[in-house]
Amino acid sequence: MYYVLCNIYYVNIFSNLVINYFDNPKLTIMTGKELIARTKVFAINAIKLSEMLPVTFLGNHIKGQLIRCSTSVAANYRATRLSQSNPTFISKLSIVIEEADESDFWIDFALEFNLLEKQPAQTVMNEAKELTAIFIATRKTMNQKRNR
């Protein structure tokens, strides 16, 4: 077992899947840099998970979609950090939300066809749902600040 420290995550490389653990499970406020690291780890997890898909037409299709949307979460969140205005930030954040939710969809879809083992898929799905919730809450807060 190999462990890599990635900001607040310990990354455990196990059975061709990277599983992330919080260094401090009571942590409720994350910095932008920590969220950049978290979304990057999420993309890595999703890629590792996609490598477990069978080499079939459907497996390859889901693999491509999952890689595209999960890496988009990381890339677009990183781009939000360079936003020059609140509307630009909110727009990019909306893309991040859509892509995180789409990642959840493709993993769930693969599970419906029994193309993935449930435990590793559920781990990545849970992270997709958590990221979606975090970014929805962030967008809501930004919209409230903008409307004041």
Angle at 19 between CA 14 and CA 24, to 5 degrees: 130
Examine the pLDDT at 7 and tell me if it is beyond 60. Answer: no
20 in a structural domain: no
Domain assignment of residue 7, yes or no = no
Phi and psi based region of residue 29 (left: phi greater than 0; alpha: psi -120 to 50; beta: remaining):
beta
Please tell me the predicted confidence (pLDDT) of residue 30: 79
Domain harbouring 77, CATH code: 1.20.1440.60
E strands within the chain?
Answer: 2-6, 9-14, 17-22
Whether residue 5 is contained in a domain is answered as: no
**Cα–Cα distance measured from residue 57 to residue 5, given in angstroms and rounded to the nearest whole number:** 36
Q: Which residues, including other chains, have CB under 8 Å from residue 106's CB and lie 6 or more apart?
A: 62, 65, 66, 69
**Among 20, 60, 61, 77, CA closest to 44:** 20
Number of domains within the chain: 1
Tokens encoding 24: 């401090």
Full domain range(s) for residue 109: 32-146
Q: Do 51 and 79 touch, CB atoms closer than 8 A?
A: no
pTM recorded for the entire structure? 0.82
Q: Is the pLDDT of residue 21 over 60?
A: no
pLDDT at 28: 57
Write out pLDDT tens, residues 120-145: 999 999 999 999 999 999 999 988 88
More confident residue, 7 or 73: 73
- Convert the pLDDT of each residue in 59-117 to its tens digit: 999 999 999 999 999 999 999 999 999 999 999 999 999 999 999 999 999 999 999 99
Structure tokens at 84: 């020059």
Per-residue confidence (pLDDT) for residue 139, from 0 to 100:
93
Strands of the sheet containing 2-6, edge to edge, are 2-6, 9-14, 17-22
Residue 97 inside a domain? The answer is: yes
Q: Is residue 64 one of the residues assigned to a domain?
A: yes
